[in-house]
Amino acid sequence: MADNSISGKTDQILVEEHSYVRTLILNRPRQLNALSLQMVSHLLELFTIYEEDRNVKLLILKGEGRAFCAGGDVAAVVKDTTDGHWRLGARFFWIEYTLNYIMATYNKPQVSILNGIIFGGGAGASIHGRFRIATENSVFSMPETALGLFPDVGASYFLSRLPGFFGEYIGLTGARLDGAEMLACGLATHFVPAMKLSLLEEALFKVNTSDPAVVSTIIDKISEHPPLKAKCAYHRLDAINRCFSKRTVEEILSALEKEAANGADNWLSETIQSLKKASPTSLKISLRSIREGRLQSVGQCLVREYRMCCHVLRKDVSKDFFEGCRAILLDKDRNPKWEPLRLDLVSDDMVNLYFTKVEDEEWEDLKLPARPSLLAASSMAKL
């Protein structure tokens, strides 16, 4: 694909046409549909074309195989950055975030069928859309802090808008949610059992309008309200609100430890463990990002996340992202050596730097496309 890799077609995205409906299939099953540069570029191109195409009223997004999408292909990004220049890696995120923004402000409903894992970038490619269908196979997670990164792809927007401080909880710990829990907290708009998915798609193929109310009615007919499993974290929302509302990561941890002192249980110790295993720098910038995101528009969130991301790629403060990828994705020893190693060694100044402009003459802030449809779009995404 050489020069045209950004705009060229790839069989990593398959397109099916059914009258007014286009089904886009993430087709990289061996990599659990992890988003490559080609995929995000192709998706961006398709979304842009379909927005103008009056014969397209509805988009369906799903994954081939047992995953919806395992996230951005960060191993490739790390390779690009290590072999070449950080700007190569930054280009991937520029396109991915632009795609996230287009989805968040799209004027036609996007129905994402989340029948499998939805990690990181996979969430970015679906949660911003109007309808998110969970199934009994759904497994959601934002695992970035364990990787030395931070929940990006507009996660500071959608996580911060979940009930109470649930967003901080899943954003910092990378906790996994099942389909029922996704529905309960609002990450999913519907739950449809996997065996009824073909029925759902058949019904959606008949749609000839972009009216979300009509689409909603169709999905409502097939969807179910599964009970929450007894051990799911959403039952712990009170404790989550008590602890994850605290001002700093240190205070969150000590609040959790205080709860554990009053009666330890599996959930508490797992939560504390995952925070202790995560990159301290990641935890601090992630918390700050979610807190800022709560008060910002989705566009502002993505611009800020792009800044943060470029600082990560440039190793301006910490190399944790590269160390995390080495330990989790490449060497797979699952034993990253974070630096700084402890929360108290990550100073406010270090955290602040992630939120500043990058000092490089050629660098620029993420330039989001003008969205004439922004008017209607604010109500399309229902977070």
Strands (E), 257-312: none
CA distance 108 to 55: 11
Q: How near is the Cβ of 351 to another protein at its closest, in Å?
A: 9
Toward another protein, which CB reaches closer, 36 or 105?
105
Is the Cα dihedral 364, 360, 295, 144 positive or negative?
A: positive
Residues 260, 268 contacting (CB under 8 angstroms): yes
Residue number, 84 or 163, with CB nearest to another protein: 163
Beta carbon of residue 222, minimum distance to another protein (angstroms, whole number): 21
Q: How far is CA 370 from the centre of its chain?
A: 22
Smallest distance, Å, CB 100 to another protein?
A: 18
Task: Dig out the tokens for 120 from the structure.
Answer: 């990181």
Residue 70 φ/ψ, nearest 5 degrees: -85, 5
- Residue 3 a catalytic site member: no
For residue 66, how many other CB atoms are within 10 A of its CB? 12
Q: Which of 71, 116, 120, 121 is catalytic?
A: 121
Cα(11)–Cα(349) distance, integer angstroms:
45
Minimal distance in Å, beta carbon 281 to another protein? 16
Query: Nearest to residue 121, comparing CAs of 89, 160, 92, 85?
Result: 92
Q: How far is the CB of 216 from another protein (least distance, A)?
A: 12
Amino acid at 297: S
Q: Which is nearer to another protein, 1 or 375 (CB)?
A: 375
If the CB atoms of residues 266 and 379 are measured against another protein, the closer one turns out to be 379
Q: Report how far residue 68's alpha carbon sits from residue 61's, in angstroms, rounded to the nearest whole number.
A: 9
For residues 327, 290, 382, 169, the Cα torsion angle rounded to the nearest 10 degrees is 60
User: Per the omega criterion (within 30 degrees of 0), is the bond before 369 cis?
Assistant: no
Residue tagged active-site, from 64, 152, 168, 201? 152
Tokens of 243: 């602890």
Is 72 noted as a catalytic residue in this protein? yes
Catalytic position from the list 72, 154, 167, 171: 72
For the bound state, the minimum distance from the C-beta of residue 156 to another protein, rounded and expressed in Å, comes to 12
Phi, psi dihedral angles at 78 (to 5 degrees): -65, -40
Decide if 348 is catalytic: no
- Measured from the CB atom, is 251 or 364 closer to another protein? 251
Q: Which is nearer to another protein, 82 or 356 (CB)?
A: 356
Give the whole-angstrom CA distance, residue 130 versus residue 186.
12
Q: How far is the CB of 219 from another protein (least distance, A)?
A: 17
Q: What is the C-alpha separation between 286 and 43, in angstroms, rounded? A: 27
Q: Which is nearer to another protein, 335 or 347 (by Cβ)?
A: 347
Point out the catalytic residue in the list 80, 144, 320, 323.
144
Report the alpha-carbon distance of residue 98 to residue 222 in Å, rounded.
Answer: 32
DSSP string, 173-193: H---EEHHHHHHHTS-SEE--
CB closer to another protein out of 2 and 261:
261
Angle subtended by helix axes 280-293 and 166-173, to nearest 10: 150
Q: Is residue 144 annotated as part of the catalytic site, yes or no?
A: yes
* Smallest gap from residue 81 Cβ to another protein (A): 28
List the Cα angle 347/157/256 in 5-degree steps.
55
Q: Which residues bind another protein (CB under 8 A)?
A: 57, 107-108, 160-161, 163-165, 209-211, 213-214, 241-242, 245-247, 251, 288, 291-292, 294-295, 297, 370, 373-376, 378-380
User: Which residues are catalytically annotated?
Assistant: 72, 121, 144, 152
